[in-house]
Structure formats: structure tokens, C-alpha cells
Amino acid sequence: MFKRNLWKFNQAMVFQRSSCWRKVRPICDHSTIERAPNSSHTITIEKDANYSSWMVDHPSALTSFDQMMKDAKGKKIAVFLDYDGTLSPIVDDPDRAFMSDEMRAAVKEVAKYFPTAIISGRSRDKVKEFVQLNDIYYAGSHGMDIMAPPRPVRSSDGNHLTVSLERKGNDVVFQPAQKFLPAIQKISKELKEAIKKIPGARVEDNIFCVSVHFRQAREEDHGTLKEKVKSILEHYPDLRFGCGKKVMEIRPSIEWNKGNALEYLLDTLGLGNCINVLPVYIGDDTTDEDAFKVIQKRGQGYPIVVTSSPKDTIASYSLYDPSEVLTFLSHLARWRKSSSSSRSISQVWPGVSS
């Protein structure tokens, strides 16, 4: 009841601010929201009653922004971002999932003030190619391929992981799934061969994991495709199956996921044991839930799900789509910039290069 009232209150506040960037207009059981997340676009979004009631438990990170930042006062924020569906919209062709220049500028601005990392299911090189920014950390293959600063590492689960530490300039590459590389390469080849007669299906090699896409395959072929993938996978007891958005993902059966990557990055940044650290994690897919879980367990931070329909999630906040992610990131950078203690990242985070 209290939450519902809080939601109504938030909406009322939003309505009051409608002249500057947003209008909320209830129409029967739909609400039409017109917003201008940036100066050049006005987007009309239909949010149905289900979505609105789902938002009671997952309030918008935009309407909650002021409160979130109030709570963040005196604390250290670190920003973690998923790529597909978060920084770039979901598109049919995975090779064309480009992020906008505006989004790039917003991420760059955020990274000036907060340690910032992208944790993606893509290969690390691919996601870096899309993002094209130097002053951030990259974790590819769902966190199994991390490029981070050289700092002492505490493995979060203490399990036996085959680790490869390779120096790249000042940074270190951390690859806990090295020993699975031959199996991944082999299954990738087999999958490519097995699916080549299914129109629209495609295999994407993400180095420590493989994606089998079916977004462009005919619906009647989805079952056959899944069967083929599963039957090949039976010969690989060290690999496991997962699902994303119109994609099947094959990955090593190790306890290492985006949540571990988040912990690893916090550790290497020297923030793992700080009680006043607030990790912000923004992501849209099932694998992002592992990172949300880590933040929930820490008891501090902001797990934010990106979704335009109600979904099961343990995230505390929500953003509707990448354009809202852009608005949130811009607000975040502006908030830090305008705060009286605004300093560059190397001043705020001694030892973290800017």
C-alpha cells in the first residue's frame, strides 16, 4: 500500500515536471508517456496497466534519481553496464548493434567521474569495437574475459579456476575459463556446420562462449534448432546451455558469471571491501541477474533492469529502454559534475587512472 502510494506520489511529481521533460497522461487503463530524454527527440511510450503495477516494485531509476543520489552522498559510485539491449537497442543483425554517438558521449562522461566497466556476453574485443572508449574497463564472454587494472585479486568463491593473467600495457587480462577454450572452439565449429541449413540461424563466436541466434530464423525452425544445439552439447559435459533474447548461449560449466566479474572488478579497483561503495549495474538480460544478485547481497548499490515489459527480476529499479539509459547516465554525470566536490576521477579515486 505504502509502495503504491509512493509510486503515485512519484508520478504526481513527474507530472508537475512535465513541462520540462515529461508528460504523464492516464487514458483508461493505459498511460501514454511523452518524454524528451534528450533535446532532439520526443518518444511516445505506451505503458499498460501491468507495466505500471510492476513498476511499483521496480520504480523508474529516473523518477527515483534524486532519492538515489541523496542516498549516495559521501559514498563511492562505480558503474557497470551491459551492452546489448542496454547501451544499444536490440536489432536483428548482431553485427549491427551499434551504440549511438550520444550514448558513447554519455558513457565517456560518466567514466570521467566514476570507475566504469562494461560487462557483456560478447567477446571483449567485439564489445570494445562497438564502444570505442579507452577510459573504461571491459569484461567480455559474460565476465570470463576481463581487462582490468593490476591489483591483488580475491576470488569471490574460492573455487579452483584456471586463470591466465597476461599483461596488456598497464592492465591485466583475467580469464578464468582458459582451459575450456579448445572445447568452445570445437563446439563452435560443429554448431556452425549443424545449423547452416537453417535459414536465418547463426553462430556467434564470443571466445569463451558461443551464441546461437534464432531471431532471424523462421518460427517453425526454432524447435529443430534447439534440438540440434542440445544434441551436440550432450558430448560436452564441461559446457552448459543458457538462454538469452532469441539466442542460445553455450558456456563453460564454471561458477563464474557477470556477478563474479562485478566483484572481481570492484576488488581490482580496490573497492571490494569498502562499505561505502555503491555499484550501479544496468542490464536487460537474464545473465545480468547474477550481477543484480551480488549487489543485493552486498546490501548497497543500485541494480537497474532495462525492460519495456514486466519481467521476473531481482533488480530494484527499472529503465524502459536504452534511451532511458542514456538519460540516466547523462543525469549521473551531470549530478557529479555539479556537486560541489566535483573532481576528476584520479582525484576522487587515487590510483584509478583517468
Active site residues: 82
- Cβ neighbours of residue 147 closer than 8 Å, sequence gap 6 or more: 124, 137, 138, 139, 168, 171, 172, 173, 174
Residue 299 backbone class (left: φ over 0; alpha: ψ -120 to 50; beta: rest): left
In the shown chain, the binding pattern of residues 245 to 284 toward ligand L263DTV3, with x for contact by CB under 6 A and - for none, equals: xxx-x-----------------------------------
- Interactions with ligand L263DTV3, residue window 74-93 (CB under 6 A): 82-85, 90-92
The one among 215, 222, 293, 334 contacting ligand L263DTV3 by CB under 6 A: 215
CB of 186 to ligand L263DTV3, least distance (A): 18
Q: Which is nearer to ligand L263DTV3, 72 or 282 (CB)?
A: 282
For ligand L263DTV3, the closer CB: 109 or 204: 204
CA-to-CA distance for 12 and 76, rounded, in angstroms? 31
Residue owning grid cell 556446420: 193
The reply on whether position 25 binds ligand L263DTV3 by CB under 6 A is no
**Residue among 92 and 166 whose Cβ is closer to ligand L263DTV3:** 92
Least Å distance, CB 176 to ligand L263DTV3, is 17
Query: Which span (66-74, 240-248, 273-281, 304-312) binds ligand L263DTV3, by CB under 6 A?
Result: 240-248
Query: Residue 48 or 92: which CB sits closer to ligand L263DTV3?
Result: 92
* Binding of residue 97 to ligand L263DTV3 (CB under 6 A): yes
Q: In whole angstroms, what separates CA 262 from the centre of its chain?
A: 11
Cβ(45)–Cβ(320) under 8 Å? yes
Q: Please select the residue that binds ligand L263DTV3; options are 37, 59, 115, 121, rule is CB under 6 A.
A: 121
* Beta carbons within 8 Å of 249's beta carbon, 6+ residues apart: 121, 142, 209, 210, 211, 212, 241, 242, 243, 287
One-character DSSP codes across 25-82: EEETTEEEEEEEEETTEEEEEEEEHHHHHHHHHS-BTTTTHHHHHHHTTTSEEEEEE-
Q: Which of residues 167-206 bind ligand L263DTV3 (CB under 6 A)?
A: 204, 206
Determine, following the binding rule CB under 6 A, whether residue 137 of this chain makes contact with ligand L263DTV3.
no
The nearer residue to ligand L263DTV3, 156 or 287, going by C-beta atoms, is 287
CB neighbourhood size of 171 (10 A) = 17
Q: Which of residues 33-62 bind ligand L263DTV3 (CB under 6 A)?
A: none
Residue 122 touches ligand L263DTV3, criterion: CB under 6 A: yes
User: Taking CB positions, which residue lies at the least distance from ligand L263DTV3?
Assistant: 121
Question: Which element (helix H / strand E) includes 227?
Answer: helix 222-233
DSSP-assigned beta bridge partners for residue 137: 117
Residue closer to ligand L263DTV3, measured from CB, 120 or 330: 120
By CB under 6 A, is residue 294 in contact with ligand L263DTV3? no
> What CA–CA distance (Å, rounded) separates 111 from 109?
5
Q: Is residue 328 within 8 Å of 61, Cβ to Cβ? A: yes
| Cβ distance to ligand L263DTV3 smaller for residue 23 or 240 | 240
Q: Does 120 bind ligand L263DTV3 (CB under 6 A)?
A: yes
Backbone angles phi, psi at 184, to 5 degrees: -65, -40
List residues near ligand L263DTV3 by CB under 6 A.
82-85, 90-92, 94, 97, 120-122, 204, 206, 211, 213, 215, 244-247, 249, 285, 287
